[in-house]
Structure 1
Amino acid sequence: MKCPYCNTGIKLIIEGENTYRSQQQNGGENGIKIIQGFCSECNQFIVLLEQGKYRWEDDAAELADAHSTEIIYPKFILRVIANDVPQEYRNDFNESNSVLSASPKASAALSRRLLQRLLREKYKIVGKKDLSQEIEEFVKKPDIPIEIKNAVDAIRNIGNFAAHPNKHQITGEIVDVEAGEAEWLLDVLEELFDVTFVQPALAKIRKDKLNNKLAAFGKPSMK
């Protein structure tokens, strides 16, 4: 798992856990497990909720066949955005991320609107009818890494644009979302930030260092 504070892959240092019966059904009893612990990297407190099958064995409650695990504290996962990304884009991204756990619908709407801004302002995709057409134009660009093209293009399928036209026609409108859609949008925006802002900034730093070395030897700089 990734720590919601430092965004580092960690093994949770468990301090305590409790299992409870949550629901009785014909196929058995469902249960939940509350796990408390600390990040092994930054030592911040984290609480997890696991769901699965409840059983009582050896005078103790246990959770078997866990099928889901989610972070319930803190309420949202911190996603650190590089300073190379302009502040206005970082603000919109952080707003979308901050409401993810409370309202995936609102988060997805904010992310779609931010994606549309990026495509229009940084990739100069204008004059299109809606976000779906703008994505279609984006994936045609020859200088975009194929992994990013595929990730952005997948937004239309994961969000089921065909069944929910308002998602691409009115990007900021709050509508129902598919499972994992809001998280995927944030992941894709992070990747797009990296390609659009971070990697060019790193390339400029490398180029400037090389030009300084060339200048020291009296040689012409790279264009």
Structure 2
Amino acid sequence: MSDNWNWECPYCGKSQVVTRPQSIWRVADLRINGQKEGPLAAEIIAIGCSNTECLKTTIKVSICEATYPSPAVCVIDSDKKPLVDMYLLPFSSAKPQPDYIPEPIREDYYEACKIRDLSPKASATLIRRCLQGMIRDFAGIKKNTLNGEITALKEAITNGTADRSITPESVEAIDHIRTIGNIGAHMEKDINTIIDVEPNEAEVLINVTEMLFDEWYGARHKRAQRLAQVMQIADDKKQQKAIPSPS
């Protein structure tokens, strides 16, 4: 591991350069003779956020296949996928979401983040459900299937009846997430066909969902705030006019 590297804190979202004093990297010997997995090692990384308003610790652990050239030297096989690769702190990568996003949608998002590494396929399925909830709540479209709702949303965009925050690109992204989420929601016709969703792929779906939270709910909330400010200013001016001028 290099002495300095770029990093974004999962708690506060601040980008920063991590230096050695802010981080700890350890490799633990997990060799047990005769085990089926072969020689193993645990890689533990701890990083302290340098943002004075955060200062929280992130801890990640990976259980990897390894070789031991000598009793005191461990070499982790970076070409092989870790047997376990997960964050201990924070346990979830979820970002706090505002109350103007409906609670059921937020709960599906939080749960999808929690199980991203443990079950990426289930995480993708929850994100699919989360986005279906967004279409029903934000766009007011309810059909028997998500596919039908996406089709109706595309028609609303074409007809100019959809909210201005909803773009054709975002609906296409939702349609792609639907097909990925279907992997976990529905069994393949050939049960011997196994299609997996990787943790990094589930992370992409989560990132897109966070983007849509901001583009849909966030943009609408900001518009409402700005309009409320204008109305407040107008009311204040009316009240000022109603006050008699000093004689």
Q: TM-score, normalised by structure 2?
A: 0.62
1:93 alignment counterpart: 109
Q: Which has the larger radius of gyration?
A: 2
Structural mapping, 1:1-223, within 5 Å: 1-13=7-19, 14-19=22-27, 33-41=43-51, 42-48=54-60, 72-74=87-89, 75-128=91-144, 130-142=145-157, 143=164, 144-156=166-178, 159=180, 164=183, 166-167=185-186, 177-179=196-198, 180-218=200-238
Higher RCO (C-alpha under 8 Å, 6+ residues apart): 1
Aligned residues: 202
Deviates more, 1:102-111 or 1:45-54: 45-54
CA distance in 1, matches of 2:129, 2:102: 16
> Retained in 2: the 8 A contact 1:46–1:71?
no
**CA–CA separation in structure 1 for the residues paired with 2:87 and 2:224:** 41
- Does the C-alpha gap of structure 1 residues 67 and 10 become closer, same or farther in structure 2, counting only changes over 3 Å? farther
> Which amino acid letter does the alignment assign opposite residue 16 of structure 1?
I
Post-superposition Cα deviations, 1:78-115, rounded to whole Å, max 9, x if no partner, equal: 31112221223222322222222322232222222222
Q: 1:192–1:37: structure 2 CA closer, same or farther, 3 Å change rule?
A: closer
Q: Kindly provide the CA deviation profile for residues 42-62 of structure 1, in whole angstroms up to 9, marking residues without a partner as x.
A: 222222457799898xx9767
After superposition, the Cα gap between the structure-2 partners of 1:190 and 1:15, relative to the gap in structure 1 and judged at 3 Å, is closer
The one-letter amino acid paired with 2:9 is: C
CA contact (8 A) 1:35 1:48 kept: yes
**1:178-223 CA distances to partner (integer Å, 9 max, x unpaired)?**
223432332232223223322211111111111222334449xxxx
SS state at 2:44 partner: strand
Amino acid at match of 1:141: A
- AA of the residue aligned to 1:39: C
Offset at 1:11? 3.4
SS at match of 1:11: strand
Structure 2 segments unaligned to the other structure (5+ residues): 1-6, 32-38, 158-163, 188-193, 240-247
Identify the residue that residue 161 of structure 2 maps to in structure 1. Answer: none
Q: Relative to structure 1, is the Cα distance of residues 178 and 43 closer, same or farther in structure 2, using a 3 angstrom cutoff?
A: same
Two-structure CA RMSD over aligned residues (Å): 4.0
The offset of 1:126, in angstroms, is 2.8
Does the 8 Å CA contact 2:65/2:76 hold for their aligned counterparts? Answer: yes
